[in-house]
Structure 1
C-alpha cells in the first residue's frame, strides 16, 4: 500500500528547505573536513621538516638511554641521524626506529603502526624525523568540534526558517478559518487588502467565484419565480375548463370545455418542455457534445415538419440554400433553434404571406442562417426585450410561452455565434444568425 501523497504546502516547504540545508551542511562539512585534514597534514609535515633542519643545524646531545616505554617522545617525534654510508649515528629511541628513507616525505609502516617520516640530507649525514599517524589523528580529532560548528548554525537557521514558513502561512490559515465559519447563504467577498501578494490572487479568485455563484442563484430564483408565474395562468385555465366540463348541461358545452381543456394541457406541456430546455442551456450546466451538423439537411427537415401547418395557415414556407456548410454544434440544439424560429414566424405570419429559411455566405463575411417573414415585425426599441425570458410584447397574448427567442439566443451563444433582429424589406422580421468562422466548414 503506497503512502498518501503529502499535500501540505508547509510540509513541502519545510521538507525542501531542511533537505537543502542538510545537504548543503553535509557538503560543507565534508569539504571543510578534507580541506582541514589536508591543511593539518601539510602543517605537521612542515613541522617535521623544521625539526629535521633544527637537528641538522644544532646537532644532537647524547641523552641517557632509556627503554622505549619510558621515553617521553615515544609516540610523538622520533629523531634519527644517519651517515651517508647508511650507519645510524643517533636515535631518540633505544633501538633503530623507522627505517631510513630517501630525502622527502614518506608514509612508513613500522611496528604495525603508520608513521609519517621526513628525511633531510645535510652535508655528510641524513636527518630523519618521524611521527606516528595515530597521534596525528588524535590531534586532528580535537579540532573537529570547531569544524562542525557550521552544522549547528545550519540547524539554527532551519529552526528560523520553520518559524518563518509558519508565520508566512498564517494568512492562508486565517482565510480558511473565515471561509469555514461562513453560513451557506453568506456570499460576501473576502478582504484581500491585507493578504500577501502571493495569497491575494487566491482571495480575488474566490471573490469572483462568489460573485458568479450569486449571479447564478439570483438567475435561478428569478427563473423559478417566472416559471411559477407563467404556469399559474394555464393551470388556472385548465382547472376552470375542467369545472365547466363537469358542470356542462349538454354535450356541446361539455365538448367545447374539453377542447379548451386539451388546448390548456398542450400549452402547459409546451411550456414545461421550453422550461426544461432553457434550464439545460444555463451557463453553469455541462456543455453538450459538439459535432459537425449538415445545416441544409437539418433546415430542410425542420421546414418539412412545419409545411402542413404553414399550408393550413395559407403561408408560403420555403428553404433557400445559397451556400451549404456544416456547423460544429449540438444537433438537437440546432434543431430546436430552427424549430423555434419557424414556429415563432408562423405564429405571427398573416395569411398569404411568405417565410423563407435562407442559408447564405458572403466571400468576406461569416456563414449565416436567416429566417425571413412578412409579419408585423418588432420595433428596434422592443428587440432587446424579446430576447428575455417570458417576454411578450402584448401581455394578453397567451398563444406562446415567451421563451422562444430567449432559447434561440441561448443556443446561439452556446455555439459561439451572433444573433440579430432586423427589419424585412417591405415589412416583417428577419432573424439573422452568424456562425463563427472556426466552427463552420463549406461543403465540397
Structure 2
C-alpha cells in the first residue's frame, strides 16, 4: 500500500492542505489590503497635489475618468477617502491659503503640536506645524477612527473568501482524518462481528504500521487461546478414555457377585453400584463426544435425511415402548431429502434430540418427528414431546455445558437424574461445525419442548 502508516497518510494529506490554506489566505489578505490602502494613499496624494497647486494659484486638470471603468471607480473611491483627511494652510497673518474642507471650522488659535478635537460632532486628530521662517502654518488632520474603519474594511473584504477557504480546509481535514483512521475502524468492525469461536489469525500485511503491533498481539492471543482449548479438549478426551477401563472392571466385578447369598439391602447396594457405574460410563461417553464435537469436521457425506430419521426411529422404538411413549414420524410426501454433512455428526445430533424427547416426555408420553420443507431450500426436522417443556428464559442456556434446567423431569414424573447436561452442548457443537441451525421452542401441538434442526438440502427426488 502507498501509505505504510496512519501518521504518514495524515501528514501527506494535511500538510499540503495547510500550506495551500496559508498561501490562499495570505494572497487574499494581501490583495484586499493593498487595494484598500492604495485607495487611501492615493486620496492623500491627490489632496497634496491640489493643495500645492492652489497655494501657487494654479489649477489641476481633471482626471480622465471616462477613459475606463477603473478610473471611474477610483474617482468614486477618492471622494470617499478625501472626506476623512483635512489640510489647511494659513499665512503669517492667519489668512487661509488652502482648505480642503471649508465646511469645517478649524480653530485658528491651535498651537503647533498634536491635538484631538471635535469638529462637526466628530473626533479628529489634528497636527499643527509651522515653517522655519514662520510665514506658513500647516494644519493636517484625519478622523480619529479612520484607522479602525480601514481595518474593518480590510477584514470585511477578506472575511468571505477566508470563510470559504476555512470551510473547505475543515471539510478536507475531516475527510482526511476519517480516511486515515479507516484501517482502525475496519479492524474494530472485524473484531466486533467475528464469531467467538473463530481463532484464525488476522492478516497483518495490509495493516498500517501503528496497527500492526495490535494485530500481532491479537494473533498471539488467538494462538494461545487455541493451544489452551486444544490442551483442554485433549485432557477431557484422555480422562474419559482412562475412566472407561476401571468403570468396566467395577461393573464386571459387581455383576460377577452371586446375589443368592445376599440379603435384600446388599443386593440393592450392588444394583446401585451397577447403576452408578452406568451413569459415570454415560458421562464418560458424553465427554468423549463433546471433545470430538469441538474438533475440526472430519469430512462431508451426501446423506438421505429421511432414511436416517427412519433408522433412528426404529432404533428408539424399544426404548419408547419401555417408557410408554408413542413415537410418531410425520412425513406425508414420502420424499427423499438429500443434504451435505458429516454422517456421524448428523446422526449424533438427531439421536441425542430424539433420546431426550423420549426421556423427558410426559406419562404416557408422545414424541412427534415432523419433516417440513421450506421455500428457501432448507428442511426443518421438528422433534417435539408432551413433557414439561423448557421455559423461555432457559432456552439459550440449555445448550451450555453441564446446564440442567430447573424444571427438568423425566416421563416418570420425577426430577431427571440421568445425564450430566452435556447432550445439548454436544448437539450445538456438532451443528455449528456442519453449518446446521438448532433451536428450541414450545410445541403448539404437544405442549412440551420442540427442537428444530434446519439443514440445507442439495437436491430432491420423489421415488417411483
| TM-score grouping bracket, smaller chain normalisation | 0.3 to 0.5
- Calculate the TM-score normalised by the size of structure 2: 0.45
Larger RCO: Structure 1 or Structure 2 (Cα < 8 Å, ≥ 6 residues apart)?
A: 2
- Calculate the TM-score normalised by the size of structure 1: 0.47
